[in-house]
Structure formats: structure tokens, C-alpha cells
Amino acid sequence: MEVSVLNIKGQETGRSVSLNDAIYAIEPNDHAIYLDVKLIMANQRQGTAKSKERSEISGSTRKLGRQKGGGGARRGDIKSPVLVGGGRVFGPKPRDYGFKLNKKVRQLARKSALTYKAQENAIVVVEDFTLEAPRTKSMVEIINNLKISGKKALFVLPGVDKSVYLSARNIERVFVMSAAALNTYRVLDADVMVLSEGAISVIDGNLTK
């Protein structure tokens, strides 16, 4: 798949790059995408919810009423779960919501997501660029030049670029990440992907091992 390379002014450079068909033109696997997105979302959960059980409640252990003849259920001490202020039965405990997912399944999910983006013509390739200093106005100009203003955009760079990241941080619906950190959720969530030339080779290296 051939894609024209633009500069940050939105102009054609006269060059094009070939996107690897083994990554951007496969048969998408929706179930792999589902599993990978589920894992990403699960890993973002804190898992710190906690309620006190009967043994953790402060209170007397004196039996409140006689065993029989009271006309109601046996309820034991004041920490009984049937009483207001008592312990909770089967309440939440701190836990890890993550689960194991094979590396090849995660790779297939990313390839499938990138294929969908290629099919939607939602991939823009730009020359490698950086900014001399963090400046939101400079990033807004780039977005306007590429004619993606108002869209949820994902900029994928060859590596971590603090100036570009800080410049885009305050812009709504714009995300910046390195190619090594690219994940299925971010690809699918974006309306358009802006790939720098250097990021393409990094993605190829990560997904064709």
C-alpha cells in the first residue's frame, strides 16, 4: 500500500512510502481485537475496592437475643451482616483484573486495528519532525495544515519527543505516543492516525518479529 508523504505544512513532498501488507492489509480478526482491548482496559482498573467483612467490624461479640423463641431469624452479635452497620457478605476485595494474553494474539490485534485504519484511508504519513520548544500554537498549526482539525487524532512518533508531547497535551482529542507504545485501543479510538516516517519502521520491527 503506497501512501504519499506530507510535510508538517500539509504539502506533498513528492515521495511516498510503502506500508507493509503483512501489517496493514491482513484479514482482520475481531475477536483478537476484543481480547486485546479488554486486557488494556482491565489493566487500567485500580482494583482497590474493599469492604469490611464480619471479622473486621469493630463491635461487641455479645449475642443480642435468645437462640429460639424470638419470632425471627438468629442474628448473633451486632456485627452480623443482617444488621445495619454489620459486616458485608462477599464484598469486594483488592484484586488485579489483568489476565494473560499471548504475544501473538496481541500482535494480531494491532495488525487488525491498523488494517481497519488503512481500509478507512485514515492514515496520514508525515516527514519526521520535532519542535524546538513546547508550544501549543505550533501543534495547532500542524493539525490545521494536515486538515485533521476537529478529529480525534493520534500522532505516532519514532520515539519519545517531550516537546511534541507537551505541545499537544492541552489540545482536545489529540494524543501523542511513541511507536513502541502503540496499542490496539489507541489505534481504534482515533479518527485518524498521523504516522511519522521513522515510526513506520519501528512498527514494522515490532509486529514482524
* pLDDT tens profile 68-122: 998 988 889 999 999 999 999 999 999 999 999 999 999 999 999 999 999 999 9
**DSSP conformation class of 120:** T
Dihedral angle sign, alpha carbons of residues 96, 39, 152, 15? positive
- pLDDT band for position 193 (cuts 50, 70, 90): very high
Q: What is the pTM of this model?
A: 0.86
Question: What is the per-residue pLDDT across 115-169, written as a single tens digit (0 to 9) for each?
Answer: 999 999 999 999 999 999 999 999 999 999 999 999 999 999 999 999 999 999 9
C-alpha span between 108 and 29 (Å, rounded): 7
Q: Report which residue type is found at 198.
A: G
Domains of the chain: 2-46+100-207 (3.40.1370.10), 51-91 (no CATH)
Mean pLDDT of the chain, nearest integer: 95
pLDDT in tens, 4-13: 999 999 999 9
Exposure b/e, 15-45, CB count within 10 A at least 16 = b: eeeebbeebbeeebbeebbebbbebbeeeee
Q: Residue 114 in contact with residue 187, Cβ under 8 Å?
A: yes
pLDDT at res. 209: 74
pLDDT (0 to 100) of residue 74: 86
